[in-house]
Structures are given as structure tokens and as C-alpha cells.
Amino acid sequence: MIKRLLQDISHKYASKWMVMLFDLSIVAFTFIAAYVIRFNFILDFDFVTMFKQIPFVFLAGLISFLMVGSYKGVVRFTGFKDVINIIIGVNILATILIITTFFSRRFHYDGIFNISGSIIYIHLLLNILFLVGFKLFIKSMYNKLMQDFETQKRTLIFGAGSSGMITYDAISNDPKNSHVVVGFIDDNDSKIGKKINTLSVYSLDKLSKKFVEKNNIEEVVISIQNIESARLLQVSGFLFELGLTVKIVPPIQHWIDGDLSVGQIKEVNIEDLLGRDPISISNPALMDEYENQIILITGAAGSIGSEIARKATNYNYKKLILLDSAESPLYDLQQEFIQNGVKNFIAIVGDVRDFKRMEQLFETHKPKILFHAAAYKHVPLMENNPYEAVSVNINGTRHMASLSVKHGVNKFVLISTDKAVNPTNVMGATKRIAELYVTCLQGKGQTKFITTRFGNVLGSNGSVIPLFKKQIDAGGPLTVTHKEITRYFMTISEACQLVLEAATMGNGGEIFVFDMGESVKIFDLAKNMIILSGLRYPEDIDITICGLRPGEKIYEELLADGENTRATYHEKIMIAKTKDIDVLSISNKISNLCTVNSKSQSLEIVSLIKEIIPEYISNNSKYEVLDSKK
């Protein structure tokens, strides 16, 4: 009953005029108190004059508070700026009283406008004390009453600097949050052992199972701005082992209007533990690049294609064409865009392998920028189905690229993969051939062909993260193919921002790669995911080593043999310097490869692929026999 009453009260706010009346009542009370203090608590002063002066002080207070608008603040949410506003208001009040007193004495008027200077200054100090103190008292009581009915988590803040104090204030000032800060953690020896707001500052080494249990600690909020990913991984791992929930304060540029709110403090997720800083790109030229353009995205229902489409909606394009052969995911994307009020887009069910259908699409819609994300990408499946890999990854790219030249597309952006570098599997080799084909077309028309090459994308369909999540939900074990296997990772948002940037930056013929930091051990990634799920490794969920899959590498690469890079305007983005190729020979071989049919033997198809890509050496695959013949 009491909880419901408090909840009802929390949705109601006092009238601003009631706040004004209350503030003015305090001003009147403190004026009387100022007289009493001025005369040393001896009631030996002119009561009649004092009571005549109160209406004038009341009026002066009204003018002052109206000027600064202090009465408009919500008392329960009183903050630093509100306190400053009150102090300014009472100073204006004191100034009015001083000015009127000065002129009263100048013209020898001893009436209500002539107030002792000492009383004015005492009144000023009492106003600050009572007005600010009372509002902070109301705020404190409200927070206390609201929090008493919540299950509070005892929380430590990692970082006792300015960001830590802002985090402390954000948590403490939110009446509905379910956290109570009980201390700080810091690496700085000069802060350890001291107190901030009566709360102790501990070293990380102080934390132990015994300390956590004794103090009922449940959560740690990491508030250090720009913490290195390696340090974050180290700290998070240590805290996870203690059974603590770990949250992190977002970078200051993500705070809403420069202020941190409790809702912005999020749990540490796998993206935060990649071991590198996220890549940010800010290029105003993107607005001009997509202004009034007709944009076509193939594979638009996939993880990458759909995110490119979402980001494209931020620009003032003329028309957005979403093409995919997967009907249900494309329908979902269409409905998402409709619900979000996206205009000038069309979803088309179609297959890039169908040349006539694609040509009809080009003739009807006349796209000027094309993002080619349609591809088969699963290594084990393509290893057993090389015909399908060739038909989509190579022939589908061939169709879209050739039609782009024919119909005067301005830019064609190919979405490639690090598996195309020194490939060891059919999927990677077919993507490398797709890269070569668009290179062959460069300069044969007005179309600028640009390739983006990046590693694994967190959370994309079929990637290791969703697989691990499913295995954790099923109770484990998690399956890792090799204990030493490593991969480069990026978020879907980063990958798609790179693609959009490449379309703007590229002049044709480039392969864009970017600095993804250190590669991540999949085994360590699996352990971190288990811990992030609130479980223990190996007690709750174990990890099984199941052996490399056909065509799988232990280490991925971003550059092929004979390639190096040149810098771009962005320190994280580079352009691969590729070897010169025999365009005529490569084109003929690709055309020959695309004539194979579904009845062709797998060995025959892969043999033709290896003729085009001599660096393609199969690994842990039945196609290794073709390498031995070399």
C-alpha cells in the first residue's frame, strides 16, 4: 500500500507557484532570523519596523526568483545547476535590498526600505543555507523513501577520478535506481586508502572472494574513460572470477547532452573485450556522396547487407533498393523500415544468378551506387558445394559487375573477406576470384570498382558468437576447432561504416583493409562468453576441442603475399597494394569457370579455381590431392 502510494507520488510534481510560495516563506522566516542573530538573540529591536519590512523583502524575493526561474525546478531532482540558480537569486535579492537601503539613507528616509547592512548579509547567508539545504533534504528523503522499496545492489566504482565522481553522482541522484555505491577501486596508489564522500578507495588487489562476500558486493561499474581494451579484458576477467557483474560507463561523447544517466551504464559485452578500440569514422563527405542517389544493395536481408541499408537511411538518397533471394528475412527488413517510417525504398526478391532478372532490375530502377553483399560465406558448406560457391560468389558478382558497367553505375562496392587472402578453402578462393573479376573491369566504363576486405563480424548470421550463445543456452559444451585458432573481429556497425566510407573514399581499383588490432583467440573468446553469461568455466560449462574443419585456417590474414599497404586519411584504414594481373588471361579463366554446371565433379570445379588462384592451397580438405599434383 505504502509502495503504491509512493509510486503515485513519484508521478506527481508540486506546482511551481507552490514552490515559489514556499521559497518566499523561507525568505521571510530567514529575515526574522537575521534580525534575531544581529541582536545577539536578544529581542531588543523594533518589531513594528521589522514586520513592515517583511512585505518589501517578500516582494524583492519574488522579483529575484522570477528573474532566475529557480521556482521552476523539480525539488526532488535538485542538482548542481539548480543550487547555482538559487545562489544567484538570493544574491539578486540582497543586491535589491542594498540598493534600496543606499537610496533610503541618501535621501534620509528611515522607513521600510532602510535595512541594516549586517542584517542583509546575515539574511543572504541564511537564505543560501535554508533554501539549498531544504531542497537537498527533500531530494534526499525522496530518494531514500523510493530506494527503501527496491532491492539494492551494493556496487563499487572502478575509477576514483572525475569520471568516477560523475558516475557516483549519476547513480546517487537517480531515485529509481537499484544500486547503492559502497566504495571505489583505483590503480593510483596515492588514492588508495583515502575516502571520497565518506566512501573508501580500495586497490584491485584488495578484492577477494572473502572481501566480496563480507561486504555483499554484487556489481562493479568501470568508469575510467578510454580504458585500454587489454586492461578492460584483464580487469573484467578478474572481476568475473569473483562472481561479480561488470558494467561500463560509455565514452563521454555518447552521454546525452553531456550528462551521464544511469540508463547509459551498460553491462560489459563481448564487443568491449575484443582487445582493441572501436573504430569511429566521421566524414561529412558521406552526406554529399549519397545525396539524391539511387542505391542498390544485394544480399540486403543478410547481417551486413541489412546494416548497410539501415545506415544508408541516414542519408538523403533518392531511392533505396533492397535485393535478396531470402524471402522471409527480406520481409522482416521491409516491415522494420515501414515501422520506422523509412521512405523511398523498395524490397525486391531476386537472385543475382539470374542475369535476365538482374538486367530488368537495372533497366527499371537505374541504380548509381551498388553495394554487393550477396554471397555464400559458410566455409564447411561451400567446401562440400563448390558449384554453388562458384555460381553465387563468382558468377553472381560477374553478373552484377558487368551490368554495372553496361548501365553506367557510378560505384560498385564489393564486400569481401579476409578468407580471400591466401585462401585455404573454396569459399575464400571464390571471394578472391570475385575480387579479381571486379579488378579486371576497372577502367572499362565509368563504374569505379571498390573492394572492402575485413574479418569476422560479431553477431552476424552463422558467426561464432551466436553459435556460442546457442551452446551456452543448451548447457554446453562450447565447441572450438583448435585451442590456438585466432580470428580478427569487428562489429557489424564498424564493418558497414567502413563499407560506406570506402564508397566515398574510393576512386576505383582499391582494396580497402583496416587495422583490426590483435587477432583474438577463439578459445579465450569462448571462456569470456561463458563468464559473461554468469557461469563458470569449466565448472558450469566446458569447452571441447573438436578439430579443424575442412578448409579452415588456424590464423587468418588481411594481406596476401606480395601485398602491402598505403595509408589513407584515417589511421585505421589502409589500401592494399596488389600485384599486377594479366587481365585478359584472368577474365578468360573466370568465364571458363562460370560455364561449369551442376553435374560437374567437385574436383573438376576446384581444379579450375586453383588455376586462377595459384596461392589457394587446401587445408584439411579432400582437395589437397590437387595440390599434391602441382
Residues catalogued as catalytic: 419
Provide the strand spans (E) within 273-389. 294-298, 319-324, 345-349, 369-372
Dist CA 316 CA 290 (whole Å)? 7
The closest alpha carbon to 498, from 280, 254, 276, belongs to 280
Contacts for 290-293: CB closer than 8 Å, 24+ residues apart: 290/315, 290/316, 290/317, 290/369, 291/315, 291/316, 291/317, 292/316, 292/317, 292/318, 293/317, 293/318, 293/368, 293/369, 293/410
Assigned C-alpha cell, 288: 554529399
Assigned C-alpha cell, 280: 569511429
Assigned C-alpha cell, 515: 587495422
Residue tagged 521559497 (cell numbers): 23
Count of CB atoms within 10 A of residue 356's CB?
A: 8
Dist CA 144 CA 142 (whole Å)? 5
Residue tagged 540582497 (cell numbers): 94
The closest alpha carbon to 2, from 142, 176, 138, 149, belongs to 149
Backbone φ and ψ of 301, nearest 5°:
-90, -10
Q: With the CA atoms of 22, 23, 28 and 30 taken in that order, what torsion angle do they form, in degrees rounded to the nearest 10?
A: 120
Dist CA 374 CA 396 (whole Å)? 8
Asked whether the CA dihedral 47, 49, 51, 53 is positive or negative, the reply is: negative
Q: With the CA atoms of 494, 500, 506 and 508 taken in that order, what torsion angle do they form, in degrees rounded to the nearest 10?
A: 110
Dist CA 415 CA 352 (whole Å)? 14
Dist CA 610 CA 608 (whole Å)? 5
Provide the strand spans (E) within 288-376. 294-298, 319-324, 345-349, 369-372
Sheet holding 511-514, edge to edge: 345-349, 319-324, 294-298, 369-372, 411-417, 448-454, 511-514, 573-577, 564-567
Count of CB atoms within 10 A of residue 487's CB?
A: 19
Dist CA 385 CA 379 (whole Å)? 10
Q: How many helices (H) and strands (E) does the chain have?
A: 23, 22
CA angle 214, 215, 217 (to 5 degrees): 120
The closest alpha carbon to 504, from 291, 295, 285, 318, belongs to 285
